[in-house]
Amino acid sequence: MKKKPLLLIAVVALALLLAGCGQLPISIGTINVQYELEAGMFVAPSYAKKLQKNKPFEGAFWFVEGERGREAEEFQIKVSDGGRDGREVKAYELGNREGIFLYIPDVGSKDITISIKLK
């Protein structure tokens, strides 16, 4: 009699996983992202906290009103996963130098920290 409820729970959990339900407390295939941004430089962030493993990242980081006109080369941009630094990152100016666009071809499979600081 005890096997039937456990089997039912297992079947429901498997169905939710296969359906891609994000409500389960486990996250398969995602990594956490933290941001270290220069204080007072960027508009209050609403950036993704989770990314898909081994997928590209694209993000726009907009300057506050008084900081517009800066170039991407003025910033030290690093992506760290705790083990190795120097993950490939491409940075471009947005619009009329109103922000920075970051492209990371592969975020890897570990949690990462994206750091954007003035040089």
Specify the number of domains making up the chain: 1
pLDDT at 25 over 60: no
In a domain, 95, yes or no: yes
In a domain, 9, yes or no: no
pLDDT tens for each residue of 108-118: 888 999 999 99
Note down the domain range covering 82: 29-118
pLDDT tens for each residue of 45-86: 778 888 899 899 999 999 999 999 999 999 999 998 877 656
pLDDT at 2: 66
Q: What is the DSSP letter of 4?
A: H
Query: Which residues are CB-contacts of 94 (< 8 A; sequence separation ≥ 6)?
Result: 60, 62, 100, 101
Q: What is the Cα gyration radius of the chain?
A: 19
In a domain, 49, yes or no: yes
Q: Residue range 99-110: average pLDDT?
A: 91
CATH number of the domain where residue 40 is located: 2.60.40
pLDDT at 83: 72
pLDDT at 1: 53
